[in-house]
Amino acid sequence: MGKMRRSRLFKKERENNVIDIDEARERRREKRRIEREKKEEKQAKTEKAVVSERRRTRERRRKLIYLLIFAVIIGVIVYSVWNIWSLKERERQAQEEFLAKQEEKERLQLELEHVESDASIEQEAREQLHMIRPGETVYILPTEDNTND
């Protein structure tokens, strides 16, 4: 049915009008040129969209890489600061321990000097061993503990 219609229209057109070949060629060229321009515009838009999408993707990747590098640097800095802080804390504790040990050493040295003195040795001998010097008399007084026996 499509062919019949076309051919009838063509016959009528041919009968009524004379077709100028140069004019028909020019119209066809113009039509092709317009179609080609539309196609190029469409292709340029898609290429532009693709290029713009690629650019956005690259920018996102670049930002992500910068963010990761920044995070790593911040992490290293935080770790270093924490490490320094903990070492300072250990140093403070060791210093306190050192001072406590030094005070204990001084106390013990004083006690040793006191214990090694002749007066101290004599006092310990009299009190614990109940020793006396020749010619001395020892008097033992009853204490409350001894009276209850």
145 domain residue, yes or no: no
User: Taking residues 30-49, what's their average pLDDT?
Assistant: 89
- The answer to whether residue 2 sits within a structural domain is no
Asked, for residue 133, whether it belongs to a domain, the answer is no
Is 143 a domain residue? no
Which comes out higher in pLDDT, residue 13 or 80?
80
Question: What's the whole-number mean pLDDT along residues 39-55?
Answer: 84
3-state SS record for the chain? CHHHHHHHHHHHHHHHCCCCHHHHHHHHHHHHHHHHHHHHHHHHHHHHHHHHHHHHHHHHHHHHHHHHHHHHHHHHHHHHHHHHHHHHHHHHHHHHHHHHHHHHHHHHHHHHHHHHCHHHHHHHHHHHHCCCCCCCCCCCCCCHHHHCC
What is residue 60's predicted lDDT score, i.e. its pLDDT? 93
At 6 the pLDDT is 62
Look up the pTM and report it. Answer: 0.44
**Within a domain: residue 148?**
no
On whether residue 64 sits in a domain, the answer given is yes
CA dist 135 and 112 (Å) reads 30
In a domain, 43, yes or no: yes
Count of domains observed in the chain: 1
Residue 78 lies in a domain: yes
Q: Which of 14-18, 49-53, 68-72, 95-99 has the lowest mean pLDDT?
A: 14-18
Per-residue pLDDT at 105 exceeds 80: yes
- pLDDT band at residue 148 using 50, 70 and 90 as cut-offs: low
State which residues form the domain around 121. Answer: 20-127
pLDDT at 81: 97
